[in-house]
Amino acid sequence: MVTATLNQTANFKADGGIETMKTPSDASDVDRELELVNALMRKSLNAADHWPAQDASLYHLETGGSQLRARLALLSGMAFKSSSAHRIASAAASELMHNASLVHDDLCDRDSERRGQPSVWKRDNSGVALCTGDLLLTAAFRAALNSDQPEYSLALVQLLTERSGQVIAGQSIELASRGFNDPDSQHASHSQHTNHSQRLAPSVAEYLQATLAKTAPLIALPLEAAAIGGNINEQQSAQLHRFAKAVGLAYQIIDDLDDLDVGCAQRLQPDQYHCYHAWPRHWPVRSQRLENPASQAMRRATRHASAALARGDALIQLFPNALAVALKDVLAKLRHRLEEHQLTIATYFEQPSGPKQGTSATQALAL
């Protein structure tokens, strides 16, 4: 899922190239405000410490992370001249919503770890994890009320409503498609015997709609949220949203490719993944005629992601320098992950024999 590991993609430092920040030092404003963001996030939970959802929320927040969205919100607010209070409220709200999605993602995917620690559902149980994600989500709206102008708080709440609704709708499309390999689904036993060609695959438009709905909103949110309290115009807002779509699509493809086990031929079959996963989406239609359809699928997927990153690169040139520097670092780290998958084509898919059994696409490079 998209929100699970974007922080792994862009763990940048905010002290690089921020030419427009105020003195005393380039990094001091971001660092100072980030401390206030963290305090506001915890205050916005607004529940008794002994309540399980509150305890689990604090546990999850203490596992760390790069706080990429909080940093992007602060930088965006500075670039578009928002007040400090609005930047902090936007950053806290964006980060809380992101963390709510992580807790729910781990529950849906049954991922047992988050940031090297047991995930909430694994530490507690599924019910507490569901409540924890909900509490973090409501805390995001409470944090939004801390902007210094009522009209900005209202605009921020409206934006949170739109972006969270888009993510939930997009995620539901993917989850609904998982019946064929979901042990909890009443249709699982029947669907497991349905191959890739027999399942009704989404159209290109449906794939893009679902993928962008679950990824782009939480990338756009911190950039838009902080800027609406400043001097951003309608054209710049549209450019930020287009950038988020480009990055979201590239990220989702790359993240899906990370799932691949290139050492297991069975795990490379498209019917091992839900139909909105990038692998079956890029699998050749007439695969039975190809000697190595997996190589073709990898080439198609990496080209698709590369084109999306190129669109993001072009849009960065239109943003204020302080923000552009940070966004370039986001793209650079995504591009590095993409290059690893492109190298995998040469090191495995075009070789007569591949790496050891049970090897992910990225791990194959080290063999």
pLDDT value at residue 7:
44
Per-residue pLDDT reduced to its tens digit, 159-194: 999 999 999 999 998 888 775 444 454 444 444 444
Mean pLDDT, the chain, integer: 83
Based on the structure, what is the number of domains in the chain? 1
Per-residue pLDDT reduced to its tens digit, 253-273: 999 998 887 777 667 888 888
Average pLDDT over residues 127-154: 97
Poorest-pLDDT segment among 130-134, 303-307, 350-354: 350-354
In this prediction, residue 21 has a pLDDT band, given cuts at 50, 70 and 90, of very low
Average pLDDT over residues 109-138: 96
Kindly tell me if the per-residue pLDDT of 328 is higher than 80. Answer: yes
Average pLDDT over residues 318-326: 89
Residue 83, domain extent: 2-366
pTM: 0.81
CATH number for the domain spanning 216: value is: 1.10.600.10
Average pLDDT over residues 278-296: 83
In this prediction, residue 289 has a pLDDT band, given cuts at 50, 70 and 90, of confident
Average pLDDT over residues 14-30: 45
pLDDT value at residue 44:
97
In this prediction, residue 358 has a pLDDT band, given cuts at 50, 70 and 90, of very low
pLDDT value at residue 66:
86
pLDDT value at residue 98:
96
Average pLDDT over residues 197-219: 83
pLDDT value at residue 27:
61
pLDDT value at residue 101:
95
In this prediction, residue 294 has a pLDDT band, given cuts at 50, 70 and 90, of confident
In this prediction, residue 158 has a pLDDT band, given cuts at 50, 70 and 90, of very high
Q: Give the separation between CA 244 and CA 251, rounded to whole angstroms.
A: 10
CB 144 within 8 A of CB 94: no
Average pLDDT over residues 232-245: 94
pLDDT value at residue 264:
74
pLDDT value at residue 324:
93
